Structure 1
């Protein structure tokens, strides 16, 4: 996930508020690398307090951004149909009443902050169970972490292919 968040930070270079979203994505990247390469740092109480406070702040960010997106007419699906989120044939964006989550910058930022929040929650769990040992982490949870780690990169690649083909 560290690589995903580094890539997410890099693509913020042309965003008008790059400093905000670059920071939102670089913090989970740093956390990922600390947990991977510095487990003794991750076990320290200062890091534990930092990661928990980040979890709280990212929760607020997701709630505020989700409310802002939905209050401005956004929706998680195309209006009046069951068109999936990543379908490029949704229609004319300017003439629709509501926009899907992947058609607006606010929707994409909401999803990015949600991915960061979920990863921080997983990180909190992993650093808490690291004191108990790997036996405390079940195989199902390891599979969930693997799927969640691969999903954003895969979705990003699919969206890139869909945009380049249209």
Structure 2
């Protein structure tokens, strides 16, 4: 990296983690009226806490407890996402974002990708240019998606009531 980019890289990495911690926390909060809210609140709270810790101290990803919790949570998200993909292959009737399982799948994918990105940063908390660019795109994507969905009332029209009333 160029010298100027090297100076900004740690701050950008931490900022990306703060954005993602906020996203995961917000995702946990909006689960309040979901039929299986208790489950989804936990699914989003774990990466919110882990990501906040990375935002506070990027070197935490080298800690055994952080790595273990992250790896176990990521494993369960991958297994669950695989089950949702299998279900959607045989039951999808609309655009994937119109299916509750499709939205759940996207949440699990975001968690998995972000936790994997954090997990891989244990040796170099900032990562390289490519890893940092990916982190910036991923940390902005959920918020842009949420804004798009919020303003696109047609997309939400077929959603169940518990999904329409939160955002």
Q: TM-score range by the shorter chain?
A: 0.7 to 0.9
Separation (CA, whole Å) in 1 of partners of 2:115 and 2:60: 16
Please report how far the alpha carbon of residue 55 of structure 1 lies from its aligned counterpart in structure 2 after TM superposition: 1.8
Separation (CA, whole Å) in 1 of partners of 2:90 and 2:122: 36
Report the counterpart of residue 116 of structure 1 in structure 2. 111
TM-score normalised by length of structure 2: 0.75
Question: What are structure 1's unaligned runs of at least 5 residues?
Answer: 75-97
Separation (CA, whole Å) in 1 of partners of 2:51 and 2:114: 9
- For these two proteins, the number of residue pairs brought into alignment is 137
Matched residue SS, 1:129: coil
2:100 paired residue among 87, 94, 105: 105
Report the counterpart of residue 8 of structure 1 in structure 2. 27
Please report how far the alpha carbon of residue 139 of structure 1 lies from its aligned counterpart in structure 2 after TM superposition: 1.4
Report the structure number with the largest CA radius of gyration.
Answer: 1
Report the counterpart of residue 139 of structure 2 in structure 1. 149
Q: Residues 128 and 68 from structure 1, CA distance in 2 versus in 1: closer, same or farther, beyond 3 angstroms?
A: farther
Please report how far the alpha carbon of residue 7 of structure 1 lies from its aligned counterpart in structure 2 after TM superposition: 0.9
1:126 paired residue among 121, 140, 155: 121
Choose between structure 1 and 2: higher helix proportion.
2
Separation (CA, whole Å) in 1 of partners of 2:134 and 2:141: 10
TM-score normalised by length of structure 1: 0.75
Separation (CA, whole Å) in 2 of partners of 1:70 and 1:124: 30
Separation (CA, whole Å) in 1 of partners of 2:61 and 2:116: 14
Report the counterpart of residue 152 of structure 2 in structure 1. 162
Asked if the contact 2:21/2:47 (under 8 Å) is kept, the reply is yes
Runs of 4+ with >2 A deviation = 38-43, 127-130
Q: Residues 164 and 69 from structure 1, CA distance in 2 versus in 1: closer, same or farther, beyond 3 angstroms?
A: closer
**RCO (CA 8 Å, sep 6+): is it higher in 1 or 2?**
2
Asked if the contact 2:50/2:66 (under 8 Å) is kept, the reply is no
RMSD value, Cα = 1.9
